[in-house]
Structure 1
Amino acid sequence: MLVIVIDSIQAANNKRFQSSSLRRDQDFENIGGRKRNVFGANNLENRLEANFVAAIVYVGPCCDYKDVALSNQLKVHCTATVISPNYILTTAVCLVQHIAKNPSHFYVIFDLNPLEKWRNFAVNNNGNFLARRIINHKVHGKYTTTDPYKYNLALIQLDKPINLTTPIVAETPLPYISHYRPYCKEYSEVDYTDVYMNHCFFYGYGPNRYDNTTHRTGILKRFHLPLLNSRYCRYFDATFDLKSNLCAGHKRVTNKDEKFKGFIGGDFGGPLVCTVINVRNFKDVSKRLVVGIASMSALVTLPDHSLRLFDYFSSTRFFRDWIEDLSDRNRL
């Protein structure tokens, strides 16, 4: 059984994937010279639905941003999820590979189309949007570059708090960062019995097949992505960690000509948000939970040689203590 890790930011010299049945594949669908996933996700038209999502954008060194803004260097490197007024959550892989060396070259921008807003600001010196700088960051203590999808989480501290009590934000409260019940270390796998597994949505800034070829990556999208039973994913992928990860996807065979789906570029760090059990109104976002943070996609070859796509998320429930201990107490 073969598992292909379809991750555009995975280090090519990862020894684990070279020495096991996991391997990296770079042959993503290429349209207009850009890698893109084939989610077919919907562009969001109402910012209220995703006030808890931000883009981490490379804007270049301070303070003349015009040249970068007019080039292909302007880019969303990853999605981030707001967990408190001062902190956002993303992947350790993205932070280590792209942001950590020069965090001052990045802005965290809260907008449906952050690149357009930043370009207008840098070139024309106008624009009305919410942006924050990065002043500190921390990857999980057990994260390693040799096994990057275990403990693949990072916290980022913003230079100024986000006002979560404004009327606009109050209309769409941030989803709970994890489940109501604390994680119990004796569990053999993540418990998600308090959410509707089929009523989950992924938010990310990665490009997909419906992007206009003139657009660069960086428009916030929403994609229906149901949770799968973790043991089902483990059956097909022996490397899947039942305790710290969640598995999502659609139970259908993936055709060869569309096999390169999954998280691309700006999608990493995006949240998977699920509706809680017994909710009266599915549109009530206060009854949704952030259950996972996008970590990797894997294309699995089944015994009959058909292909199945799984999307793996770092479980916010498993990492709840780490998240809350650092963010609540400002201990980065």
Structure 2
Amino acid sequence: MDLNQRITAFSNLSLFLKNFLSDATKCEATLNDFEHLKEELQQVIQTANRHNAWFTPEHITQALSSWSAALQKDNLTTWLDAYAITSSSEKRVAVIMAGNLPLVGFHDFLSVLITGHHLVAKLSSDDQLLMPFLARVLIIIEPGFDSKITFTKEKLPQFDAVIATGSNNTARYFEYYFKNKPSIIRKNRNAVAVLTGNETPQQLEALGDDIFGYFGMGCRSVAKLYVPQNYDFDTFFQAMFKQQDVINHHKYANNYDYNKAVYLMSLFPVLDNGFMVLKEDTNFSSPISVVFYERYTDVETLKAELQSKADQIQCIVADDFSDEDVAFGQAQNPKLYDYADGVDTVAFLLKL
């Protein structure tokens, strides 16, 4: 396969997802088994939810919708035009995937295959169904991928390079274990939001999606707010009200009850609206159902502080705070070139 064939295959996968989500009777990618594959994907979604209650059908659908949009041919072409991708020797790239969000490892899946390498994927026990299904559809679309995709639950077979995502603790293990291989090792990061008090109700409502999307479990989920000294949280809480149904999810509700009780028993001052807790804290990574906040007095000082802690921050949600701002409501919708931890995965793969 050349690059154009690979781009076409992934763009046809985008069409399959688009037609599945719209409940179309035919697939624009001309899949003979479309109706059967639609039924199977519906079953996969239900089974994934039973296996991992955090993976609600709504969140799985959100992930599928995001990838359907991202994999459109124009997006793939624009993304890859920045690189000189030529036919080169194929390497076996091991990808150790996280399982905190549905299809969280798909960008690595895409990057390895689109650059012509062989993917050796070790799936998280929390997300073992969605990726293999999409891989099978991709192979039906383009059989040339059949020999380029390996999934394993056991010890990784032979590989030439590795991309691994995990916690700060597992990252130390990865760094030691893979020290003799070219690697990308990702650690814990979170998104933060910088508020000025001049945000519109619409912007704050959009921020709710950045906070509550995927129950706040993603590295691009806003886990901390920076607010002015005299910030009034009443308007903020009013905007969050549309997210109130999150408390109806039993696992989220259990986390909310537990974290609120711990803070109250420890006599920590908190703000609470019945489904989320705000706690003043200098840390970045907050527990599920909790958002930390910190007050600032000077924008330039805050910029310098966040720059000094850039290795802990995945993205900054704000309006006219910096050149790298992510717009309110867009934290969970990264572009193909918005690389995790700021490390260019494609450039790494092209150097192998």
TM-score normalised by the shorter chain: which range applies? Answer: under 0.3
Structure scoring higher RCO (CA < 8 A, sep ≥ 6) equals: 1
TM-score, structure 1 length as denominator?
Answer: 0.26
Structure with more strand by fraction? 1
Larger radius of gyration: 2
Structure with more helix by fraction? 2
